[in-house]
Every structure is written in C-alpha cells, then in structure tokens.
Amino acid sequence: MTSVPFELSPFDLELTTATEAPAEATADALVLGAWQVDGKAELAAADLPAEATEALAAALTTLKATGAVDSTTVLAGAPGVSATLVVVAGLGKQADATTDRLRRAAGAAVRATAGATRVVLALPATDATGTVAAAEGAVLGAYADTRFKSSVEATDEVEAEAPEVRSIAVVPAGDSAEVETGLQRALVLGRQMAYARDLVNTPANFLYPESFAASVTERAPQGVEVEVIDDAQLESMGAGAIHGVGKGSARGPRIAVLRYRPAGAQKHVAMVGKGITFDTGGLSLKPPQGMTTMKCDMGGAAAVAGAVFAAAELGVQTAVTGILCLAENMPSRDAQRPGDVVTALNGLTVEVLNTDAEGRLAMCDGLVLATREKPDLVLDIATLTGAAVMALGDRTAGVVANDDALRERVVGLAERTGEPLVGLPIPEEVHEGLVSPVADLRNIIGYGKPAGMQTAAAYLMRFVGSTQGEDHVTGDAQQLPWAHIDIAGPAFHEGSPWGYTPAGGTGSGLRTLLAAVEDVPLA
C-alpha cells in the first residue's frame, strides 16, 4: 500500500452545550452578538448582569463598532464576566437575520479569539436550528492549516491569527435532544470539512493521484469500502478520457470508488468529483498567473470524499457511492494534443480541442462508472469553468440539472446549509454545439464562446446513463436524475478569511452533498 506523504491538520475539538450562565462560564473567551442599528452596534440580549451590559455597550460606542456582518470587536473582559476576553460579533440588521448569519458570526468570532483555547458562544439563537448553526460556524471557523510552516511564531502575522480553540460550548436554545443531535453532526461535519480543506491546501508535490487515493483509503471510516483503479486498469477497461488527461504526467491517473452501503437503505446517491491534483492546462498551457492556485483543482473530489465519510460517520440511511476522478494535467512529449480523439468508457469518442478543458474529460468516465452502480440520483461537483466565476463571482457556485425541479431542490438544500448556489438552465443550442465533425463529441464548442459553464455541463450530461444502469439512454429508457455543481469560484479563497470561510481551501460543496444524502432531493 502506498504511504501518504503528507500529514493532516489536527482536529481535536470538544463541542458541548454550556451548563453555566454566560457571565459565569469558565472560558478564555465569551462570544456575544451585536445587531446593526443605524450604523452602530447594539448588543444582542445574552442574559448578562446589568453592569456587564452597560460596560460592553459603552465600549462598543467608544470603538465605533458597527455590528456589520462578519465584523468582530475584541474586548479585554467586562465587569461581572468571568471570561478573560469578550468577542462581539456583528450580525447585521435584525430584520435581515438568518441562520447562516449566526454561522458566520460564530466563525468570525472564533477566529478573532487570539490564542483562546476554550470559548463559550452566547449568540442570540432562538431555537435548536440557530444553536446548531452557531456551533457549525464556530467549528468551521476554528480551522487552521499550519502544516507546511517550519515554525509557528508570535511574530509571524499569518500564524498569530490562527485560532487555537480546542473547546467550544454553546448556550442552547430550543429542544435539547435536537440540539444534542445537531452538535454531534456539527462535529462530524467540521472534521470532514477540515479534511477536505487540508486536501485542497496540500501542495501538488505532496498530493497527486496516487497519494490522494492512498489518503482516502487510509482515512475511510468504518462502513466505507475503497476501490482504487490505477492507470493500467483504466486503460485496459476503456476509460480513455481520464487516461488521456493523465498521459502527460509521470504520476498516472486513478479513480477511487468509495462505497457506503448501510443496511436497509431505501435510496442510493452517486457523487462524482473532479480531482485534478494540478492543472497546467497541458499543451493548451495556462499563463503563469493562471497556475498559482491550481493545486485546488481537485476541490470537487475533496468535497465528495468528505461527504461520503461524513454520511458514514453519521449513519445516514442512504447508500452512497463516491467516485473521485484523479489526474495531473501536465505537458510533456507523452501528453495528449489538441485534435486528439479519445474513447470514453461508454464508447463515445471525443475530439479534444482544448487540453485545458480536462476536468470534463476526467469526469465523464467517472459518470459512466456512477451509472453502472445503478443509483437513484447522480450528483457531480467540480472546479470546472472560469465562466462560472465570471457569471457568479468568487463566493457562489452554479448548478444545472436534467430536471428543473431537481435543480431547484438542490438550490434549496444548499441554501439550508449556508452555501450560496444559483440554478441555471442549459440552452438547447449548447447541446448542438458539442457535435464534432470527426468524433461523437468535442470537449469545447470553441474559444471565447458564451455559456461556458452550461457547455461543460451539457458535455457531462451525455455520459449519464439510464435508470436501468445502461451506459446509453435509448428507446423508452429514462436518464438518471442528475445535477452538476460548478464550484470554480468558492472552492479556493485567495483573500482574507471571512465568516467561517478561511483563506485557501474552503470545502465548498461538501455541506450541500451531505444534505442531499440526508434528504435525497427526488420527488
């Protein structure tokens, strides 16, 4: 078995409900909320002594705190409060309050706790849903990746800001049993989000197809079986599309198949993730500035791995198949060329006009494998197109589907988890543009053509088979329900952290995939 050449960030958080009043809690930091009222911060109710409330309100006024979303104000304690630090997190206007703003406030506050190890959250949640959302945000905000630093010193500006929280207690609201179940889920979610983020952040000289497959094999929880298909097997079985992508690299491609099969499962969801561990563009070479973040081009596969593992840890009663399409897209004398024709696993031939449109080539063989598992639903997720970023920005993902109702249900699931997602149609003419004069399909319509995200999705859709598990949809057969999520924008954050989102890998899409497994979005 291949050894894994990288470590993972430690995840040893304790997450509980607070048993003491906020002012009396034994903690390094107490987190409170503030609403934005006429541009100024107004402390949210938190069951504090009057002297503490008055002192905190005066301090917020003096410091000109605004209560804006994602803002934090760190104070050196307050009269009558046991905690050494008080962190006041902005919630925005109360009329615009959402559960995700509680998540964001908790995440931002935890990151601002400056060396605190035990934190108590007393944000203004009114029910179990809000309590759990705050807990999720705190767990996600506690993530820090310092694995590749030679040392962590107080003088290092980046590392000085890394949270050191090890214990989080949440002042609960709502049904206690619902809160307890939600906290357990939040901890599992946080652990798998940390794993996905670590994978995305791992440099490509450590994370490559073979080591990625070895990591998920080593990491798989009880109940998940992992099958790894190596390059020679891919070629012999006819998976020519992903094999072609990986030809230019000395590190051959892999497909890792993760299977979770709980007893009595009534539904089966297959998820396919793009796992390009580094993307130079191949012979259609990217400019240097276009490569700087391309270690993140496997964010879809990371999200799938984390979602499958979380489902298993939580004992979700849905069968799940995760298919990770892993390759490194490099130029070399062996690399595929623009104009080459490859044969995908389902027998369709593809003219490769652009070797930098490699993600869809790697994933199409994975979609054929997903079909053969005979699921009830297929979801795929990828950092696929720059067009998605141009249309939706850096924080929002896009989704298309072969059924409008399914697409909107996936959007609804994402909204519930706090992941911004916008549904888009696939125009009919996009399908027509993928016909090649020399092969069955071509991997792009042309350079600079519009609807780039939908073009990639339309290509992938051709590899989703029938509900009977057949590779092709013929006669009266029905195509499997399918949705494609493009996370090219939100998968990797190059700016300063915000809310519970760190710099670097974000784990984008994992929460939506897990929600789709817990509540399968089929009519």
Q: Which one is catalytic: 286, 372, 374, 395?
A: 286
**How far, in Å, are 27, 34, 162, 382, 388 from residue 149 at the CA level?**
29, 35, 12, 29, 33
Q: List, in order, residues 6 or more apart from 459 with CB less than 8 Å away.
A: 360, 364, 434, 441, 443
Average of per-residue pLDDT across 505-511: 98
> Is residue 93 among the annotated active site residues?
no
Answer yes or no: is pLDDT of 114 > 80.
no
Is residue 201 within 8 A of residue 209, CB to CB? The reply is no
As given in the structure block, the two tokens for residue 295 are 């270690």
3-state helix, strand, coil in the chain (%, to 5): 35, 20, 45
Enter the pTM of the model. 0.97
pLDDT band at 1 (very low <50, low <70, confident <90, very high): low
What separation, in Å, do the N-terminal and C-terminal C-alpha atoms of the chain show?
Answer: 43
Answer yes or no: is pLDDT of 419 > 90.
yes
Q: What is the pLDDT of residue 91?
A: 98
Among the listed residues 378, 381, 360, the one whose alpha carbon sits nearest the alpha carbon of residue 482: 378
Dihedral sign computed on CA atoms, order 239, 245, 251, 255: negative
295 known ligand binder: no
Q: What is the pLDDT of residue 157?
A: 53
Count, residues in the chain: 523
Answer yes or no: is pLDDT of 161 > 60.
no
Q: Which one is catalytic: 259, 360, 409, 462?
A: 360
| Tens digits of residue pLDDT in 183-240 | 999 999 999 999 999 999 999 999 999 999 999 999 999 999 999 999 999 999 999 9
Answer yes or no: is pLDDT of 170 > 80.
yes
C-alpha to C-alpha distance for 57 and 69, rounded to whole angstroms: 18
**The pairing of beta strand 268-279 with beta strand 377-382:** parallel
Average of per-residue pLDDT across 249-278: 98
As given in the structure block, the two tokens for residue 281 are 């563009």
Q: What is the largest CA-CA distance in the chain?
A: 79
Answer yes or no: is pLDDT of 158 > 90.
no
358 known ligand binder: yes
C-alpha to C-alpha distance for 272 and 372, rounded to whole angstroms: 13
pLDDT band at 412 (very low <50, low <70, confident <90, very high): very high
Answer yes or no: is pLDDT of 154 > 80.
no
Dihedral sign computed on CA atoms, order 207, 372, 361, 341: positive
Q: What is the pLDDT of residue 423?
A: 98
Mean pLDDT of the residues in the chain: 96
Average of per-residue pLDDT across 310-330: 98
Answer yes or no: is pLDDT of 153 > 80.
no
pLDDT band at 277 (very low <50, low <70, confident <90, very high): very high
> Is residue 449 among the annotated active site residues?
no
pLDDT band at 344 (very low <50, low <70, confident <90, very high): very high
Torsion of Cα atoms, 500 then 503 then 509 then 512, to 10°: 0
AA identity, residue 178: E
Beta bridge partners, 324, equal 256, 273
Answer yes or no: is pLDDT of 115 > 90.
no
Q: What is the pLDDT of residue 150?
A: 86
pLDDT band at 450 (very low <50, low <70, confident <90, very high): confident
| Tens digits of residue pLDDT in 23-42 | 999 999 999 999 999 999 99
356 known ligand binder: yes
Is residue 273 within 8 A of residue 303, CB to CB? The reply is yes
Is residue 350 within 8 A of residue 341, CB to CB? The reply is yes
pLDDT band at 164 (very low <50, low <70, confident <90, very high): confident
User: Which domains are present in the chain?
Assistant: 14-148+166-171 (3.40.220.10), 195-519 (3.40.630.10)
Answer yes or no: is pLDDT of 2 > 90.
no
Among the listed residues 46, 43, 207, the one whose alpha carbon sits nearest the alpha carbon of residue 126: 46
279 known ligand binder: yes
Answer yes or no: is pLDDT of 392 > 60.
yes
